Amino acid sequence: MQKEGLLIVISAPSGAGKTTLCNGLVKRFPGLKESVSYTTRDPRQGEQDGVDYHFVSTEQFKKMVSENGFAEWAEVHGNLYGTAISVLEQARRDGVDILLDIDCQGARILKNHSIKGTFIFVMPPSIPELRRRLESRSSDSVDVIERRIARAVEEIPEARWYDYIVINDQLEEAQERLAAIVTAAQIKTENIWEQISKMFDI
């Protein structure tokens, strides 16, 4: 029997550095594949359908919801986002470790359904620093930045029920900590036992 793939779930307030950290993580762990979510938002410049997201209409999304096609879905910043059950099942069957970059509402749904996974919350070092990062990204208006800050204040208490919290202050340190969590998940007895039993024929 092949090993089951691991599920790594990462959430963070917008601007905390999740994209930067996730990009670093998949470079470091080439076997870790980022799940491609479904969304009703429009593609941003450079984004590719089927690579960054599956871009669908609200109608198509709602049809998938009614057919129970999602392991979780949520409305984030006025758009719908969801993780297809088929993506998780396929990865698990193929023994592929998968990384889900999803918001707190979606992560909570997976946790409440007792989905086996490692749940990580990336925390900004402070609200002023979060504001600075959102401003430095210079892709959003002042209004949007203020809404993201207000949402961050609501999301931060959610970190309480995650398995790990990584404060993204110094990028390299945060990157190391994230890598340590993934390594620990990979060598957790229940996750590595299949390999051990083959090695020693037990």
Q: Looking at 40, 83, 168, 191, which residue binds ligand 5GP (CB under 6 A)?
A: 83
Q: Looking at 7, 10, 15, 155, which residue binds ligand ADP (CB under 6 A)?
A: 15
Q: Which is nearer to ligand ADP, 64 or 149 (CB)?
A: 149
Residue 76 Ramachandran class (φ > 0 left, ψ -120 to 50 alpha, else beta): beta
Kindly determine how many residues on this chain lie close enough to bind ligand 5GP according to the rule CB under 6 A: 14
**DSSP SS3 for 164:** strand
Within positions 144 to 173, which residues make up the interface with ligand ADP, using CB under 6 A? 168, 171
For residue 22, state whether it binds ligand 5GP (rule: CB under 6 A): no
For residue 72, state whether it binds ligand 5GP (rule: CB under 6 A): yes
Q: Which of the choices ligand ADP, ligand 5GP, none does residue 81 contact, using the CB cut-off of 5 to 8 A by kind?
A: ligand 5GP
For residue 136, state whether it binds ligand ADP (rule: CB under 6 A): yes
Q: Looking at 17, 82, 106, 117, which residue binds ligand ADP (CB under 6 A)?
A: 17
CA 117 – CA 100 distance, rounded (Å): 10
Burial degree of 56 (CB within 10 A; 0-12, 13-18, 19+): middle
Strands 32-34 and 37-39, by their bridges, are: unpaired
In the chain, the N- to C-terminal Cα span, in Å, equals 13
Strands 7-11 and 97-101, by their bridges, are: parallel
Helix-, strand-, coil-residue percentages of the chain, each rounded to 5: 50, 20, 30
Containing H/E element for 120?
A: strand 118-123
Q: Which of the choices ligand 5GP, ligand ADP, none does residue 102 contact, using the CB cut-off of 5 to 8 A by kind?
A: ligand 5GP
For residue 101, state whether it binds ligand 5GP (rule: CB under 6 A): yes
Q: Looking at 7, 8, 16, 32, which residue binds ligand ADP (CB under 6 A)?
A: 16
Name the residues that contact ligand ADP, by CB under 6 A.
12, 14-20, 133, 136-137, 168, 171, 174
